[in-house]
Chain A
Amino acid sequence: MTTSLAALAAPREDYSYAFLDAYAKRELRRRTLKAIAIPGYQVPYASRELPIARGWGTGGLQVTLSLVGPESVIKVIDQGADDSVNAANLRRFITRMSGAATTTDALQATIIQSRHRIPEEVLQENQALVLQVPDPEPLRAVQSDSSKAHEMHADADYGQMWLVLYEQLVRYKQYIQGASYPSLVNGRYVISPSPIPRWDTPKLHQSPHLTLLSAGREKRLYAVPPYTDVRPLEFEDIPFQVEDQRGWICQHTGAQNKFMNEIPLADGTAAYELSDTGYMEKLSAEANGSTRGATYYDDEGNFYHAGYLKPPVQPD
């Protein structure tokens, strides 16, 4: 009886499990551990090329691929939507390469990869939120040279950031930073939060879940570990403000005081709908026994850490 070489060899595998080879995964896991150990510090990493265009979530994807296992449950969202074309594409790739299960329920997921949003329901301790980051450098607008920005972080030299905010107050009587509002992590490093809207920035503060932020093109990753302070940069007397969407009511669910998409209508008015499609799905299906978790903002718009967000004050 002859045994063929093919019979002795391991089955042919075109790609490693979860695409990345073991060296790339090891590197990513080490960098991730370092990022968690130094909250808000941008850890450089090699950043492998993936079969997805650079700038389309390859940073988040590498972190997700280094964390995923067959028992993982994955949720992927873009702008809050599970069925956005790019989210669908990334989810298809992750499950194809890992065999992980998928969900649209934010509370069922073990890993949530997201572009530009944090879900509305309070994430829990066993969950990791992976945010895709285009530009990890909060100092970019004041210092485009990343080597010099690196030194500024080392010195906690954030004076120019405060100056930018001060000039905004002088000119506009309010902060006019849009999404990715610069925030101080653990009292030490200023980060660029993904870009998530200001509505989502407070959700990073003292959160039970782990947040990993990864920029594949810029080759930097950073973390907000669970139960870590995250404070948007604000002067004591002029508090940071989230987007004002009071009175916006979801046309599908009647929900309000959650982050909304504004849909322009032909008659010049606008309709509104929940940005978080997983949450919208739950509200719609609630009659069928779907369970809804606590949300970061209640139905009156109060944030769950009382006193963290303050009413608006304008300079004189």
Chain B
Amino acid sequence: MYVAAKGGEDAIQQAEKLYQHLNGTLTPELVRSIEMNMPYLVDRVMGEGSLYAPELAALALAQTGGDLYEAVLLLRAYRSTQPRIAYAAPVKPAEMLTVRRISASFKDIPGGQILGPTLDYSHRILRLDVLDNPQENNHHSHSENNEAIKIADKPASPNYPAVADWQRGQGLMAQLPEQTPVDAADIPDVTADPVLFPAPREHRLQALSRADTGGVLALGYASMRGYGLIHPTVNELRLAHAEVQVKHPVTGATFSAGRVRVSQAEVVTSGGENGKTGLTVGFAATLGWNEVKLIAASTLDMEMNQPSPHPAHTEEFVMYHTEAVEASGFCIHFKLPHYVTFASSVDNIRKVIATFYSSEEKSNGADKPTEIQSETATSEAMPS
């Protein structure tokens, strides 16, 4: 009974203890191990949590037994208590320490196609042999696929120009607008401003950056599959490390406060209203390395710019429904008791039944409503 007569507070505390008990012991070693060995999972939690803190993201994962939405919520709730002490300088693609940079638009690009770390061309075969060699579990270096990686004779450059620069030079893509210096504190912030539509571009890109990977994928895939501009071409996809450059509060000197893993994607199409006179572009970037999310997100960005996008790709629809914490929170809130609002609906059903099916009305059968089921659903359209 979850509305216990007097036991509510004790019950919820015991329920939480039971959850933690079944998940095992929370230790610094476990947190460290998640941080070191699950980088893509940690990246996803940091990206959706919009807080770059690998150790805290790993702690959030350990603390929730790996429940992604709970882990993201933990990080977000922590984030909202943290003061903003400085604004980092903008990250410029050409200055990022890029480890992977590919383009589907051309066979080769200035600077070259850099595959970097990827599972793209791996055979997705479970490595059952790992299970048979317990003593080697902690070392990934004993199988033929995992021989030490070869060092290239000539190391690749850490910096690459943007593919779009070449296309702009060719007149295939609209020139970037003139940039005027802005005070970072004046940049709209989706975490601290009310969200109104049409949203400033900053809000949109920030929302996509912290959006739920699965949600963005579902809507992006719908666009790619046939409800949108049909075919995004991945113009450039990058995984990189970026310097977090901040100004020293006393001396004013710029210094790097550390490096963060970032990824960015740019997709183009010749579809859309102006697609025949220049490429239509979509862009997305996030903290951490998350390629599938960014290809979907940049496709959605491109879609949202069109004059009449499919209803599922309007800015309002995308931004509201890919919010990881809000979507998951609202979904699980239906577990809460709803017996008051339910009673209110049942009252209506009883009144309608009494009106149309009571003994004196029975003779007048032609008046009976035919769609009582669907209309009752309408009366409950207001979620509670």
B-contacting residues of A (Cβ < 8 Å)?
15-16, 19, 21, 23-24, 44-56, 58, 78-81, 83-89, 92, 115-117, 134-135, 138, 140-141, 145-147, 164, 168, 171-174, 176-180, 192, 195-199, 217, 219, 241, 243-245, 259, 261-262, 275, 314
Instruction: Scan B156-195; emit 1 where CB is below 8 A from any A CB, else 0.
Output: 0000000000000000000000000000000000011111
Asked whether B326 is an interface residue with its Cβ less than 8 Å from the other chain, the reply is: yes
Asked whether B375 is an interface residue with its Cβ less than 8 Å from the other chain, the reply is: yes
B8 lies within 8 A of A147 (CB): no
Measured CA separation A53–B332 after assembly (Å) = 9
Given contacts A48-B80, A134-B383, are A55 and B316 in contact (CB under 8 A)? no
Listed from nearest, the 5 A-B pairs whose CB atoms lie closest are A54-B329, A44-B194, A55-B333, A55-B330, A88-B8
B384's contact among A49, A80, A141, A180, by CB below 8 Å, is which? A180
Asked whether B24 is an interface residue with its Cβ less than 8 Å from the other chain, the reply is: no
A244 lies within 8 A of B80 (CB): no
B382 lies within 8 A of A141 (CB): yes
Asked whether B12 is an interface residue with its Cβ less than 8 Å from the other chain, the reply is: yes
Given contacts A21-B83, A178-B348, are A135 and B382 in contact (CB under 8 A)? yes
B12's contact among A79, A88, A134, A177, by CB below 8 Å, is which? A88
* B contact residues around A244 at 8 Å (CB): 347, 350-351
Shortest CB-to-CB span from A25 to chain B, Å, is 12
Task: Please report which residues of chain B, range 49-100, place their CB below 8 angstroms from some CB of chain A when the two chains form the complex.
Answer: 73-74, 76-77, 79-81, 83
Given contacts A49-B73, A53-B332, are A146 and B197 in contact (CB under 8 A)? yes
Shortest CB-to-CB span from A172 to chain B, Å, is 5
Asked whether B121 is an interface residue with its Cβ less than 8 Å from the other chain, the reply is: no
A85's contact among B8, B195, B371, B379, by CB below 8 Å, is which? B8
Given contacts A52-B77, A147-B197, A217-B326, 15 further A-B contacts (CB under 8 A): A48-B80, A49-B325, A53-B332, A54-B329, A54-B333, A56-B333, A79-B3, A83-B9, A115-B336, A145-B316, A172-B356, A176-B376, A177-B348, A217-B330, A244-B347
Asked whether B253 is an interface residue with its Cβ less than 8 Å from the other chain, the reply is: no
A-B contact pairs, 7 of them (CB 8 A): A51-B74, A53-B73, A134-B384, A147-B198, A178-B341, A179-B344, A180-B384
* A contact residues around B77 at 8 Å (CB): 49-52
Measured CA separation A287–B348 after assembly (Å) = 37
In the complex, residue of chain B having the shortest beta-carbon distance to the beta carbon of A142: B381
Measured CA separation A49–B156 after assembly (Å) = 42
* B contact residues around A241 at 8 Å (CB): 351
* B contact residues around A85 at 8 Å (CB): 2-3, 8, 11-12
In the complex, residue of chain A having the shortest beta-carbon distance to the beta carbon of B315: A147
Asked whether B4 is an interface residue with its Cβ less than 8 Å from the other chain, the reply is: yes
Given contacts A48-B80, A84-B337, A219-B194, are A172 and B375 in contact (CB under 8 A)? yes
Asked whether B116 is an interface residue with its Cβ less than 8 Å from the other chain, the reply is: no
A83 lies within 8 A of B384 (CB): no
B194's contact among A21, A45, A80, A217, by CB below 8 Å, is which? A45
Given contacts A44-B195, A48-B80, are A53 and B333 in contact (CB under 8 A)? yes
In the complex, residue of chain B having the shortest beta-carbon distance to the beta carbon of A141: B381
Measured CA separation A178–B378 after assembly (Å) = 10
Asked whether B119 is an interface residue with its Cβ less than 8 Å from the other chain, the reply is: no
In the complex, residue of chain A having the shortest beta-carbon distance to the beta carbon of B72: A49
Asked whether B151 is an interface residue with its Cβ less than 8 Å from the other chain, the reply is: no
* Inter-chain CB contacts under 8 Å: number: 190
* A contact residues around B341 at 8 Å (CB): 116, 178-180, 195, 197
A261's contact among B83, B194, B339, by CB below 8 Å, is which? B339
Asked whether B277 is an interface residue with its Cβ less than 8 Å from the other chain, the reply is: no
* A contact residues around B380 at 8 Å (CB): 178
Given contacts A49-B77, A197-B344, A261-B343, are A176 and B194 in contact (CB under 8 A)? no
Measured CA separation A173–B357 after assembly (Å) = 13
Given contacts A78-B336, A141-B382, are A54 and B325 in contact (CB under 8 A)? yes
Given contacts A83-B5, A217-B329, are A197 and B316 in contact (CB under 8 A)? no
A192 lies within 8 A of B83 (CB): no
Shortest CB-to-CB span from A242 to chain B, Å, is 9
A56's contact among B6, B329, B346, B369, by CB below 8 Å, is which? B329
Asked whether B196 is an interface residue with its Cβ less than 8 Å from the other chain, the reply is: yes
Asked whether B355 is an interface residue with its Cβ less than 8 Å from the other chain, the reply is: yes
Task: Please report which residues of chain B, range 3-38, place their CB below 8 angstroms from some CB of chain A when the two chains form the complex.
Answer: 3-9, 11-12
In the complex, residue of chain B having the shortest beta-carbon distance to the beta carbon of A312: B351
B379's contact among A54, A86, A178, A219, by CB below 8 Å, is which? A178
Measured CA separation A50–B78 after assembly (Å) = 8
In the complex, residue of chain B having the shortest beta-carbon distance to the beta carbon of A195: B384
* B contact residues around A174 at 8 Å (CB): 348, 351-352, 355
Measured CA separation A198–B347 after assembly (Å) = 10
* B contact residues around A49 at 8 Å (CB): 73, 76-77, 79-80, 325
B345 lies within 8 A of A173 (CB): no
* A contact residues around B379 at 8 Å (CB): 168, 176-178
B384 lies within 8 A of A78 (CB): no
Asked whether B148 is an interface residue with its Cβ less than 8 Å from the other chain, the reply is: no
* A contact residues around B343 at 8 Å (CB): 197, 243, 261-262
A176's contact among B9, B83, B352, by CB below 8 Å, is which? B352
B382 lies within 8 A of A83 (CB): no
Shortest CB-to-CB span from A162 to chain B, Å, is 15
B378's contact among A52, A86, A141, by CB below 8 Å, is which? A141
Measured CA separation A255–B307 after assembly (Å) = 60
Shortest CB-to-CB span from B368 to chain A, Å, is 10
A172's contact among B331, B332, B352, B384, by CB below 8 Å, is which? B352
B4 lies within 8 A of A243 (CB): no
